[in-house]
Amino acid sequence: MAKADREQLVKKVTPTNDQIVLHLDMDCFFAACERLRRPELEGEPVVIGGGFDKEPPRGAVATASYEAREYGVESAQPMKIALDRLPRRESIDDPDAGGYYLKGEHEFYKEVSQEVMSIAETYAGTLRRISIDEAYLDVTQVTSWDTIEVYAKELKMEIQESVGVTASIGVAPTMSCAKVASEYNKPDGICIVRPGDVKAFLSPLSIGEIHGVGPVSEDAFKKAGVETAGDLASLTTQQAADRFGSNAITLHERVRGIDTREVEPVGKPKSISKEKSIDATTNIGTKRAIIQQLASKVNKRVASKSVRYRTIGIKVVETPFEVNTREYSLHGPVQDPLLLEEIALELLIEFEAGEVRKLGVRVSNLDFFDGEQIRFDDWDPPPSIIADRKSKHCKRTDDQRSISGQTTLPDFR
DNA sequence: TCTGGGGTCCTAGGACCC
DNA sequence: TCTGGGGTCCTAGGACCC
């Protein structure tokens, strides 16, 4: 192989190090937002989440302030555990110490987030919003490795001064490393990992701290003796793939500092869904009513977004925690509340006997159109077919269901 | 300890086509 | 009569993230 060819090949798998990625991560964002409008919560343990007022408590913690974390409350923790560790107090006058449990107001958090992101945008060549409290910034064109520290400090200061919340920042030549770096000096911290230092920075970290390693993978890695990112990095690609599957190949690259992804703005959503936990029930009437509610809510959001969907699905979680999904694809995209509800209900029939604790409705295979575009009415099922289908429903008997137990859906797709 | 609600991405089997 | 291989679509489930 010619030397030039070899160099080309090497370039493909070696980080070019010419990218400067900044990961911005707000500290305890929901709790910080609450403190903006309720300064008396400053310094107090604050927990944001739902279901703490249910009996028994259900749901999970969305955000816990650092004061609440002192008691062992963590985000994503079941609310029941949080309440065991940190009892709830009703008001500041409540003589019993405890934590402030708040339901949270997403609309308000979104407004604060928008202020933060607007500032961040002015610091970025390209900005990718990951969630309400997190973003990647490509700053390659607007600063340099020599000036990055001052640059990051300025961004943090401007957010703090004009919005009043604190952020942590990680900077690295790859997205995956920047993500880990922002966690490193939390809260209100900056961590800069320069080109060439990525592997050494990641090596001592527990494998579970790598982005993309969840509880299942962490367990599998540790059982096989891979405790740290460095342990994974020391395997050959072949070993990593053989022992942990193809998914490990990407992780194996990441822990060695190889990640060629670039910061790109987020595109259109792929699906729109709504789900709801309920008191476990076998009552088919209750289930149907919930599905109808959810379908109507999904429809509202779909309608406000000028989007059609081609696939309609439901999610049914049976006790103890068995997740089932069913979906049905049409021939062409539609936006049709009636059809959405009816198909969702059809898909539910299979689960009429089971004990259900959670239900969801989802649309996917989305097709966006701007308001001015002419509707593709020819793709909508003609009313005659809907009418035909309705009459079939009335006459439907059990032997019209397939032997697999799946419902028979009208084949107008 | 027992799991909310919103998503994304991946895998794998089967149907179907050429 | 027996039956290759590649590609795409659909569906279900699962891991993971915030």
pLDDT, tens digit, for every residue of A29-71? 999 999 999 999 999 999 999 999 988 898 999 999 999 999 9
pLDDT for the residue numbered A413: 57
Tokens 């977004």, residue? Answer: A305
A4-18, A259-273, A348-362: segment of lowest average pLDDT: A4-18
Separation between the CA of A48 and the C1’ of C4 (whole angstroms): 59
Given A134, A341, A342, A346, which residue is catalytic?
A: A134
The yes-or-no verdict on residue A302 having pLDDT over 90 is: yes
pLDDT for the residue numbered A382: 36
The answer to whether some atom of strand C lies closer than 7 Å to the beta carbon of A132 is yes
Query: Which residue's CA lies closest to nucleotide C17 at its C1' atom?
Result: A212
How much is the average pLDDT of A210-233? 96
Query: Which residue's CA lies closest to nucleotide C14 at its C1' atom?
Result: A323
A13 confidence band (pLDDT: 50, 70, 90): very low
pLDDT for the residue numbered A411: 53
Separation between Cα atoms, residue A364 and residue A265, nearest integer Å: 21
Pick out the nucleotide with least CA–C1' distance to A310.
C10
pLDDT digits (tens, 9 = 90+) for A118-136: 999 999 999 999 999 999 9
How much is the average pLDDT of A103-116? 96
pLDDT for the residue numbered A17: 55
Nucleotides of chain C touched by protein CB (<7 A) = 9-18
The 3-state secondary structure of A295-353 reads: HHHHHHHHHHCCEEEEEEEEEEEECCCEEEEEEEEEEEEECCHHHHHHHHHHHHHHHCC
How much is the average pLDDT of A318-334? 96
pLDDT for the residue numbered A36: 97
Separation between Cα atoms, residue A145 and residue A143, nearest integer Å: 7
Pick out the nucleotide with least CA–C1' distance to A360.
B5
List residues with CB under 7 Å of strand B: A 50-51, 56, 58-60, 62, 76, 78, 80-81, 246-247, 269-277, 301, 320-321, 357-358, 360, 362, 364
More confident residue, A100 or A1: A100
Residues of chain A by 3-state class (helix, strand, coil), percent to 5: 40, 20, 35
Separation between Cα atoms, residue A341 and residue A321, nearest integer Å: 25
pLDDT for the residue numbered A18: 84
pLDDT for the residue numbered A97: 80
The answer to whether some atom of strand C lies closer than 7 Å to the beta carbon of A95 is no
pLDDT for the residue numbered A32: 97
The yes-or-no verdict on residue A16 having pLDDT over 70 is: no
A234 confidence band (pLDDT: 50, 70, 90): very high
A371 confidence band (pLDDT: 50, 70, 90): low
CB A299 within 8 A of CB A340: yes
A101 bridge partner residues: A47
How much is the average pLDDT of A229-257? 94
Backbone angles phi, psi at A35, to 5 degrees: -70, -25
pTM: 0.87
pLDDT for the residue numbered A14: 46
What is the share, in percent, of chain A residues with pLDDT greater than 70? 85
pLDDT for the residue numbered A394: 31
- Please tell me what DSSP assigns to residue A195: T
pLDDT digits (tens, 9 = 90+) for A246-284: 889 999 999 999 999 999 999 999 999 999 999 999 999
How much is the average pLDDT of A143-171? 98
The per-residue pLDDT of chain A, averaged, comes to 88
pLDDT for the residue numbered A398: 33
Q: Report the Cα–Cα distance between both ends of chain A, in Å, rounded.
A: 53
Separation between the CA of A54 and the C1’ of B5 (whole angstroms): 17
A66-75, A90-99, A336-345, A347-356: segment of lowest average pLDDT: A90-99
What is the share, in percent, of chain A residues with pLDDT greater than 90? 79
Query: Which residue's CA lies closest to nucleotide B8 at its C1' atom?
Result: A270
pLDDT for the residue numbered A162: 98
**Does residue A318 have an active-site annotation?**
no
Pick out the nucleotide with least CA–C1' distance to A277.
B4
A324 bridge partner residues: A316
Between residue 192 and residue 211 of chain A, the positions with Cβ below 7 Å from nucleic chain C are: 211
The yes-or-no verdict on residue A198 having pLDDT over 80 is: yes
pLDDT digits (tens, 9 = 90+) for A381-405: 433 333 333 333 332 333 333 333 3
